[in-house]
Structure 1
């Protein structure tokens, strides 16, 4: 499994921001009404971030208990951990795009359309969506770090029940 790269996520964010900023400018120059930023955009992104963070914290505590050989430690299923990492990576990639899109749209609103009162509110929603999208990326990177195999860890050392991930 390949590790997420901050450079890739930043490139997606910047590319989406530039594209949405230019598209909003083009749309506005054609005297069309700009679309509204939904209030649920930052809420849904924040919920995804919370789910990813809760999964990471749960896996971290279970892996620590297993590593310390505590009695009654519940083993971590490799497939479940792998699915969690894949979900985190997919969420990070999509959130980088979405946050960049809302960032570009919010920047356009701040630069050219602050004279309209409801556009200030739209710029605020876009800014909150950017913050929530960055929280998703941070939670996904943390989840990936929690599930990473340490050097020397393999199937023989864990009986097939250890953490899953890629080599550091």
Structure 2
């Protein structure tokens, strides 16, 4: 499983933002631009919370397992892999959605004189922030579930006596 690349997420965000901004301009010139739903930042924030809770739970279980505490519940490797895949997929979708709402929000900055459009610009801005939170939580989850490198010749710890 390959690591999640920040450059890929940033590229998806930027391309989606540019296309969304251009699409919003075109749509508004032809008709009425659809509104930004209030549920968008709420759903993204819930996904970020689930990812963060999963990461903290797995981190605590892995630490207890590593320290060999009595009664420690182990972590099924398949479950950890599924959690990482869920995080990676969520980060990619969040980058796309945050880019879409970011581009729409930039377009809506021109229409702040209208109260309804001002509210939609705030919702779009909060959606971008919640999307960034999803990406950060997914990266943290991936870091928690990372396996130690096998080619590490000098692991941290006490030096062997000569």
TM norm structure 1: 0.88
Following superposition, the deviation at residue 115 of structure 1 comes to 2.0
Following superposition, the deviation at residue 143 of structure 1 comes to 0.2
The number of residue pairs the alignment matches comes to 151
Following superposition, the deviation at residue 28 of structure 1 comes to 1.4
Alpha-carbon distance in 2 for matches of 1:151, 1:72:
27
Equivalent residue, structure 1, for 2:9: 9
Alpha-carbon distance in 2 for matches of 1:114, 1:51:
33
Post-superposition Cα deviations, 1:4-54, rounded to whole Å, max 9, x if no partner, equal 000000000000000000000111122x11100100000000000000000
Following superposition, the deviation at residue 152 of structure 1 comes to 2.8
RMSD: 1.0
Following superposition, the deviation at residue 74 of structure 1 comes to 0.5
**Is 1:36 matched with 2:7?**
no
Alpha-carbon distance in 1 for matches of 2:40, 2:115:
20
Of residues 150, 153, 156, the one that matches 1:152 is 150
Consecutive unaligned residues of structure 1, counting only runs of 5 or more, are 154-168
Equivalent residue, structure 2, for 1:107: 106
TM norm structure 2: 0.91
| Segments of 4+ moved more than 2 angstroms | none
Consecutive unaligned residues of structure 2, counting only runs of 5 or more, are 152-162
Equivalent residue, structure 1, for 2:117: 119
Post-superposition Cα deviations, 1:102-153, rounded to whole Å, max 9, x if no partner, equal 000000000x211211100000000000000000000000000000001239
Look up the SS of the partner of 2:43 in the other structure: helix
Look up the SS of the partner of 1:69 in the other structure: coil
Alpha-carbon distance in 1 for matches of 2:150, 2:114:
60
> Mapping of 1:41-60 within 5 angstroms?
41-60=40-59
Alpha-carbon distance in 1 for matches of 2:33, 2:149:
52
